[in-house]
Structure 1
Amino acid sequence: MLSVLKRSLSLLLLAGSLAIAAAAPAAALSRIKDLAQVEGVRQNQLVGYGLVVGLNGTGDTLNNAPFTKQSLTAMLERLGVNTRGATLRTANVAAVMVTANLPAFATQGTRLDVTVSALGDAKSLQGGTLLVTPLLGADGEVYAVSQGSLTIAGFQAEGDAAKITRGVPTVGRIANGAVIEREVEFKLNAQRTLRLSLRNPDLTTAKRIAASINDFLGAATAEPTDPATITLNIPAKYRGNMIQLLTEIEQLRVEPDQAARIVVDERSGIIVMGRDVRVSQVAVAQGNLTVTISERPEVSQPEPFSEGETVVVPRTSLKVETGDKNKLAIVREGVTLRELVDGLNALGVGPRDLISILQAIKAAGALQADIEVM
């Protein structure tokens, strides 16, 4: 009997602990690696101009794209073929722009993926080959060279009376299509001070990250200088071994904070609300005014043997509905995001009407959140 009572008591305690755990809100902890990045460790954009050859009659029209004709003539001259003054009618060549991202710490000889986009009036780059194209950085220096066969996701087919296009046939990719020729130097191990840049600037998040780093290192080495930046003075034992320090720091978990914000896209009717959105007590009513106008023309004929004419007489029917069924609803003060959404949905409003209601509540000073319209 005693064992049965102990077992029942244990079950009750377990159920109570589970209920408390379920009622307590779970903290959303994120790694510092996902919240911030080391300033200076970033990608660099590369761009180049080139020619794609081997197209099946879907290239640029040389008369409409003079830059393609000039580029083709210059390329042939470099290869020893003189075409100055000749009439070129090929449709198998297209001028393109080549873009790529140079990763941080990319070494000479490694390869990059490149994107090739038509510049003229080419219909498709299907089956084309990109000729040697230097890729330049913002400083005008060549950092990579690209060449290879294109892979196209879209296609285009047409006949005499119909045409079908799937995807975008004028944009393609070349996997590992560029070779890095120049490196961007950044001596990470030689740094005495690092700056961590937050992806979403916030004062509270920056302070929490600095406190977490200081607790881990056991010294006041990290200090938030602004909502987006944390300055980290490298301890003496980690100098020359920056990789170990960053590896340990980026795994620390911090609960990020965020400002109360509502993002609205009026074109698509999308509304995104943060969890900290709060509303003061306010009354909301939503009514739709619907006006229906219909035209029913009628024919009016003259009496027999009269000199009148047959005419069309307009007849207009006008109907107005005010939507009086929607009543006034009161939104309580300090409601949560879920209660706010449930209360507005209870009014039977759609996404676009909800946008207007939120803007009106904000104008009344009862919405403690920023509304960002995209």
Structure 2
Amino acid sequence: MLFFLIALLISSNLFSANVRIKDFAKFRGARDNQLFGIGLVVGLNGTGDSGNLNSSLLANMLKNFGVSVNPNDLKSRNVALVMVVADIPAFYKPGMRLDVVVASINDAKSLRNGILLQTPLYGADGNIYAVAQGPVSVGGEDAKGSASLQKRFTVVGYIPNGALIEKEIPMSIVDGNSVTILLDRPDFTTAARTAAAINTTFKTNIAKAIDGASIKVTIPNAFADDVISFLALLEEIEVPVDTPAQVVINERTGTVVFGGDVKISDFVLSYGNFVVVISNGQIGDKQATIGNLITALRSVGATPQDIIAIIQELHKAGVIYAQLRIM
């Protein structure tokens, strides 16, 4: 039986919710960076790679310790070649730690109980910014006796705080005497409201929306020597963020999620045993919205498949004032 979820966000308060700038935007220049490296996981109980590739790499590693070993003498299924990846947030300093993900590259069966040997992590510029090492976790034991539980995927692991930062990635968020705020989801209405909220807060026109994604803010002279305090004040300003009307349908799970004030124009629809009538902007004695339509359909026994099919037909007919996304 399909799981049916309805997320209703149609009240005027949610439609224009006041949200802190830090929760829906970031400053230009303050961005994460991706790190990656190739390493070896050892200590596997016969579940590592077959072949000679990992043996050659392990032999080269041993040379760094003054131990000369023939790769042919290191044939073992206890070692796996892995790719190590991590994201380094903005302004992280040497000595701070990162979580890392470890994934098998070759034909290892499992990374369970393995230990990642020290692995340099590179940025896109080819420089080393962190080193990773530690025990690999792939989750708990496989659950048995229930068909509803997913089998563990044991060739991908995780090391909490497994990377130590060695070099800071240089970043700058101040350009001359201004900073730029970037919206996580570009929207002209939200950009204009953000600029207006900043100007209202500081009682001067220091902010201007450049486009649907960016707002340029001039740093006041009073904060010329304390930019961080100014940025902190900007982050805490609340803005009535606009929520576009949209309906998201997942046909596989029978899920319908809709946000914003999703309204419907008048129509008459015949579908199977159902006849749906919207007249004068009303469904019975209620306003014609997606939420009220779904409630009415479910009250007369419509299944998730029926509701999804009806919503799709209404969108084709152009009577739903919202974006439709099908997953």
Q: TM-score range by the shorter chain?
A: 0.7 to 0.9
The equivalent position to 2:158 in structure 1, one of 152, 170, 173, is: 173
Say whether the 8 Å CA contact 2:30–2:172 is kept in structure 1: no
Matching residue of 2:318: 365
| Native 8 Å contact 2:44 2:79 kept in 1 | yes
Separation in 1, partners of 2:297, 2:241: 28
Paired position in structure 1 for 2:6: none
How far apart are residue 71 of structure 1 and its match? 1.7
Equivalent of 1:353, from 306, 311, 325? 306
Give me the whole-angstrom Cα distance separating, in 2, the residues matched to 1:85 and 1:249: 59
Match of 1:250 among 223, 229, 235: 235
SS of 2:271's equivalent in the other structure is coil
Q: Is contact 1:130-1:148 (8 Å) kept?
A: yes
Counterparts of 1:206 and 1:199 in 2: how far apart (Å)?
11
Q: For 1:49, which of 38, 52, 58 is the aligned residue?
A: 38
Q: TM-score, normalised by structure 1?
A: 0.75
What's the offset of the Cα at 1:171? 2.5
Q: Which amino acid aligns with 2:91?
A: F
SS at 2:44 equivalent: coil
On the 8 A contact 1:124/1:155 being kept in 2, the answer is: no
Residue 98 (structure 2) pairs with residue 112 (structure 1)? yes
Matches within 5 A, 1:243-282: 243-282=228-267
**2:138 aligned with 1:149:** no
Kindly state the Cα deviation for residue 169 of structure 1 after the two structures are TM-superposed: 2.5
Deviation at 1:107, TM superposition (A): 1.0
Separation in 2 of the partners of 1:175 and 1:147?
Answer: 10
Relative to structure 1, the CA distance from residue 338 to residue 166 in structure 2 (aligned partners, 3 Å threshold; closer, same or farther) is closer
Partner of 1:311: none
Q: Could you tell me whether the CA contact under 8 Å between 1:154 and 1:168 is conserved in 2?
A: no
The 1:191–1:178 alpha-carbon spacing in structure 2 relative to 1, beyond 3 Å, is farther
Secondary structure at 2:161 match in 1: strand
CA shift for structure 1 position 38: 0.8
Which string of whole-angstrom CA distances, capped at 9 and with x for unpartnered residues, describes residues 93-138 of structure 1?
1111111111111111222222222222222222222111100111
Q: Specify the code of the residue in structure 2 equivalent to 1:28.
A: A
Q: Which has the higher contact order (CA 8 A, sep 6+)?
A: 2
Pair 1:78–1:217, CA change in 2 (3 A): same
* 2:121 alignment counterpart: 135
Identity across matched positions, percent: 41
- Residue 39 of structure 1: which of 20, 28, 35 is its match? 28
Change (3 A) 1:345 1:156: closer
- Provide the residue aligned with 2:48 in structure 1: 59
Q: Give the one of 236, 239, 259 matched to 2:221.
A: 236
Cα gap change, 1:285 to 1:264, in 2 (>3 Å): same
1:316-327 correspondence to structure 2 within 5 Å = 326-327=273-274
Judge conservation of contact 1:261–1:273 (CA < 8 Å) in 2. yes
When normalised by structure 2's length, the TM-score is 0.85
> How far apart are 1:150 and its partner, in Å?
2.3
Tell which structure's C-alpha radius of gyration is larger. Answer: 1
Q: 2: CA distance between counterparts of 1:34 and 1:171?
A: 31
Other structure's SS at 2:200 match: helix
What residue is the counterpart of 1:331 in the other structure?
278
- Match in the other structure for 2:146: none
User: CA–CA distance in 2 between the matches of 1:245 and 1:112?
Assistant: 28
Contact 1:116/1:171 (8 A) holds in 2:
yes
Q: Is the 8 Å Cα contact of residues 147 and 178 (structure 1) preserved in structure 2?
A: yes
Alignment size in residue pairs: 305
Per-residue CA deviations over 1:54-102 (Å, capped at 9, x if unaligned) read 122221112xxx5323322322344344444735431111111111111
Q: Which moved more, 1:205-214 or 1:261-270?
A: 261-270
- 1:213 and 2:213 equivalent? no
The one of 319, 343, 346 equivalent to 2:296 is 343
Unaligned regions of 5+ residues in structure 1, if any?
A: 1-23, 158-163, 288-325
C-alpha change, 1:116 and 1:286, in structure 2 (3 Å) is: same
Cα drift, residue 348 of structure 1: 2.8
Per-residue CA deviations over 1:298-329 (Å, capped at 9, x if unaligned) read xxxxxxxxxxxxxxxxxxxxxxxxxxxx2422
Partners of 2:71 and 2:28 in 1: how far apart? 54
Q: 8 Å contact 1:125–1:152 — kept in the other structure?
A: yes
Residues 40 and 80 in structure 2, CA contact (< 8 A), matched pair in contact too: yes
Summarize the Cα distance change of 1:148–1:327 in structure 2 as closer, same or farther, 3 Å threshold.
closer
Taking a change above 3 Å as real, the CA distance of residues 25 and 144 of structure 1, as seen in their structure-2 partners, is: closer
Cα distance in 2 for residues equivalent to 1:258 and 1:252? 18
Instruction: Decide whether the 8 Å contact of 1:106 with 1:183 is kept in 2.
Output: yes
Match of residue 90 from structure 1: 76
